[in-house]
Amino acid sequence: MRHSLAILTALALGLTGGAALADYPERAISVMVPFGAGGGTDVPARFFAAEMEKILGQNIIVSNVEGAGGTVGATQLSRADADGYNLGFMPVGTTTTQPHLKRTKYNADSWTPICMVSQGPFYLVVKEDSPIKTVDDLIAKTKADGLKFAGAGPGSMAHVAQLTLNNKLGINTQYIPTKGGGDIATEIDGGRADATAWFSDFNTKFGWRALAVMDSQRSEQHPDVPTLAELGYDTQVSVWFGFFAPAGTPDEVIGTLSDACAKAVATKTFADNMAGANRLVRYMPTDEFGPFFREAFELNGQLLEEAGLIKK
């Protein structure tokens, strides 16, 4: 009798658990952004959260947890309950370079990638009046008398771009680390650096000229700029933002979130908001984003190790 009762109780609990998952979400969802409010990660995160709220029918609370290149917030999220109510909107650097540089408590196995939301390729750029007119010119200058490449601090995505270019183009440029943004412009415009990797606003923001885009396809924003692949160098480096759940989040929940993600990025409101903020929408579903993320994690770790920034 007791044995039968135990079986019935287990079945009841199983059915209750299944029903709970089927009803997901039943309450507000927290989405962690590992940088400050109003910043480069926070802006698309809030656009995205607003659309997800409408689709899922529950409030989405965006929380900003700053510190250490996004690793403070990411570490907290990796330790949160994997129940579908603790999620994160995180960029490539926090998830694929910082774990190698800072030996974080989280790694590629800490997450279930749900979807990519936005991606903006880097452009290889020079000053408008630079004598470097083409990628071939850049290679020739590097081999003749050296080339200085400016970017943010060691291990930044601009640094990853420089390391990737060195690898793919068969060159060895000197990296000039800065605090980023305006400091990079000062180095380029002052002639102390020859090139950098920047986003699609390179011309409107700084008046620079692009030699190539580091992507697999030409940009609609700059259709005349060739891809490095067209020039014989299959090189892709971008800054992307993705939606993540802690590892162990139930598959049913991930499925619900993945479906909602596809709908959210396809809305006109999201597209308009992103365009207004000069951001590119690039959606990648769960089954594609997972392998993409892991490949980026491994590749960036390898590049940083080869550059001597980390030691195994």
Angstrom distance (rounded) from CA 247 to CA 175: 36
Asked whether the beta carbons of 162 and 85 are under 8 A apart, the reply is no
Give the list of residues 6+ apart from residue 293 with CB closer than 8 angstroms, or none.
95, 96, 108, 111, 113, 242
Name residue 256's amino acid: T
| Mean pLDDT split into 10-residue runs, the chain, 312 residues | 45 44 88 94 96 98 94 97 98 96 96 97 96 98 97 91 95 93 92 96 94 92 95 92 98 98 98 92 96 96 89 65
Q: What share of the chain is helix, strand, coil (3-state, %, to 5)?
A: 45, 20, 35
> What is the pLDDT, as a whole number, of residue 164?
94
Angstrom distance (rounded) from CA 261 to CA 258: 5
Angstrom distance (rounded) from CA 263 to CA 51: 8
> What is the pLDDT, as a whole number, of residue 182?
86
Q: If we measure between CA atoms, which residue out of 117, 56, 110 comes closest to residue 89?
A: 117
> What is the pLDDT, as a whole number, of residue 14?
46
Angstrom distance (rounded) from CA 114 to CA 246: 10
Q: Is the peptide bond before 25 cis (omega within 30 degrees of 0)?
A: yes
> What is the pLDDT, as a whole number, of residue 1?
45
> What is the pLDDT, as a whole number, of residue 10?
46
Domains located in the chain, CATH noted: 2-120+239-306 (3.40.190.150), 123-213 (3.40.190.10)
pTM of the model: 0.84
> What is the pLDDT, as a whole number, of residue 5?
44
